[in-house]
Structure formats: structure tokens, C-alpha cells
């Protein structure tokens, strides 16, 4: 008899969890080393909980002014940086009836190609949309999205209809908020280890192979 999974839903962060890059930092590097360093410093402080995401989300995009071409390049970078074994584990979990969703403060248009390649439909991809003019220049971002705020991931999960128990997985301070909407929170340290996130987590996971073991109740 097949054992029931320990978790029936898994909520995954994208940047530095599903994929080994921070999308906003990758965009900033396309504007040169000075902008790259400035944005990376803001991102790191936000992920470490030193700054609220609310205070830096729009500021970073305003500094970068990403074009539609930049977003297409970022989509390629996400695909190239997919976590080891992630595709196999996603298939394995789905085959056991586990529902997977992505909840990210990253840019939806850049994440969508890799998400769709992994079998996520549009309803299971939660991220922030950008607006471009007809020539592909940056206009604005969806400032109404809760994912542009420090605790918005909790709000998103609370509005999703997911089978329980739910495991939330992420690497940054904004992911900690998911703990209150899920049944457990795992700090993903496969790409970046942030001690404030580890301290807030129920579990620490270093790879997608470990994630499968946790969800499917096999020995780690």
C-alpha cells in the first residue's frame, strides 16, 4: 500500500529556491557594475530582514528600468539556473498527488517560461507582473500585488484553496511569513543560507532530493 504523503501541498519560492539566482539582481547587472552592486546590496538586506520589501520593491525597478528584452533574457537565466533535480522532484511529487504552487516576489513574465516547462499552469504561478509600453520600455509594476510587500506571501497562500497539510519552502525573510498560512515552513539552503530564516523554520532543506524525502516521508 502506498503511504500518504506527509504534505499534500508544497508552496515554493522561486529566487534562490527553485532557481539559483535573484532575478532582480540579474537584471541590475545588465545595467553595469555600479547599479548591480547597489541593487544586490538592497536585495540582500531585504532578504536578511534588515529592510522591508515594501520599501525597496519599486525603488529597485525604477533604478533598473527593465525592458521587455531584459525580461526575456532573465527568463533564459532562470531556466539555466534551475535547482538540481528540481524537474524530477516536481514530477515525482505530482505523481503522488501533491499539489505544487509557486509564490514569488519575482517578475511573472520572467518566471512563466520555466514554470510552464515544469508543468505549472497559470493559476499555480503567483508573481508580480510588469507593464511595458508598445516599444518594450518599462512603465510600472503591479503595486497592488501583496507579493511586493514583506508579509504578502502569507496573504497569497491564505487566498489559495490548497489541500492540507501545506509545506512552504523558501530562503528569504519574506518567505518566513508563509509559516503562519502553512502547516510547516522549510528553509531552503541549497543556494543561500540566511540564519534568520533558518531560525524561523521548522525544517532545513538543502536540495530538492531532500524535499522529496520530507514530503514523501522517507529517511533524510
Residues acting as catalytic residues? 13, 15
Distances (CA, A) of 162 to 81, 147, 165: 28, 18, 9
Rounded Cα distance, 153 and 113, in Å? 21
C-alpha cell at 42: 538592497
Rounded Cα distance, 173 and 170, in Å? 9
Nearest to 93 by CA among 2, 9, 197, 198: 9
Strand pairing category for 166-170 and 184-188? parallel
CB 144 within 8 A of CB 127: no
Residue identified by cell 507579493 is 147
Rounded Cα distance, 202 and 109, in Å? 32
Amino acid at each position: 500500500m502506498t503511504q500518504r504523503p506527509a504534505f499534500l501541498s508544497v508552496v515554493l519560492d522561486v529566487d534562490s529556491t527553485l532557481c539559483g539566482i535573484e532575478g532582480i539582481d540579474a537584471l541590475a547587472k545588465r545595467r553595469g557594475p555600479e547599479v548591480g552592486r547597489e541593487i544586490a546590496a538592497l536585495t540582500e538586506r531585504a532578504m536578511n530582514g534588515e529592510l522591508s520589501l515594501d520599501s525597496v520593491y519599486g525603488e529597485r525597478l525604477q533604478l533598473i528600468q527593465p525592458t521587455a528584452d531584459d525580461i526575456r533574457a532573465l527568463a533564459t537565466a532562470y531556466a539555466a539556473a534551475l535547482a538540481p533535480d528540481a524537474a524530477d522532484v516536481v514530477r515525482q511529487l505530482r505523481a503522488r498527488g501533491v499539489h505544487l504552487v509557486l509564490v514569488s516576489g519575482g517578475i511573472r513574465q520572467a518566471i512563466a517560461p520555466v514554470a510552464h516547462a515544469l508543468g505549472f499552469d497559470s493559476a499555480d504561478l503567483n508573481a508580480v507582473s510588469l507593464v511595458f509600453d508598445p516599444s518594450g520600455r518599462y512603465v510600472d509594476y503591479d503595486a497592488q500585488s501583496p507579493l511586493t510587500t514583506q508579509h504578502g506571501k502569507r496573504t497569497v497562500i491564505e487566498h489559495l484553496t490548497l489541500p492540507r497539510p501545506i509545506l512552504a519552502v523558501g530562503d528569504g525573510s519574506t518567505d518566513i511569513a508563509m509559516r503562519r498560512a502553512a502547516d510547516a515552513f522549510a528553509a531552503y539552503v541549497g543556494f543561500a543560507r540566511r540564519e534568520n530564516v533558518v531560525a524561523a523554520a521548522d525544517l532545513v532543506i538543502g536540495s530538492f532530493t531532500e524535499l522529496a524525502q520530507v514530503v514523501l516521508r522517507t529517511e533524510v
